[in-house]
Amino acid sequence: MGSYRDLVAWKQAMELVTEVYRLTESFPQREMYGLTRQIREAAVSVPSNIAEGRGRRTTRDYLSFLYRARGSLFETETQMDIARNLGYLPEPVHQLLREGAAAVARPLNGLIASLERRLDPDRRPPTADRPDAESPDDH
């Protein structure tokens, strides 16, 4: 098993958190302990949980940390939306950050799906012809 540093999801998450830190420098000083802190913490949590999960002993533990990373990614996206709505992020910058988040989500979701299949090889993802099939997001 390679290092967490070899994971595309971790690399993309590191790029995203770096951009979040750079762009939140321009947020109003009054937000230092509000939105600035929250968006930074959420963004930092994404690669941190990927790394911590990779170091865990079991696949189930690893998967749990990847779910946390995905949750933190969604939290980061939501806070970026709030920052845009408040006028702290111009739309073009917001869009770039959204693209960065999507670049994290793709390999992260792939990694999650791969580990879920490892735990349950008979598991099939939901499809259009099986809309009642349970997905990991239903829990």
Domain membership flag for residue 128: no
CATH code for position 71: 1.20.1440.60
Number of separate domains in the chain: 1
- Assign 88 to helix, strand or coil: coil
Residue 131: inside a domain, yes or no? no
Burial class from Cβ neighbours inside 10 Å (0-12, 13-18, 19+) for residue 62 reads buried
- What is the Cα–Cα distance from 116 to 41, expressed in whole angstroms? 27
Residue 21 lies in a domain: yes
In degrees to the nearest 10, what's the CA dihedral of 134, 46, 114, 109?
A: 60
pLDDT per residue of the chain (139 residues) written in tens, 0 to 9: 689 999 999 999 999 999 999 999 999 999 999 999 999 999 999 999 999 999 998 999 999 999 999 999 999 999 999 999 999 999 999 999 999 999 999 999 999 999 999 988 776 655 555 444 444 444 3
Question: DSSP 3-state assignment of 4?
Answer: helix
Q: Which domain holds residue 55?
A: 4-121
Q: Is 137 domain-assigned?
A: no
Q: pTM of the prediction?
A: 0.85
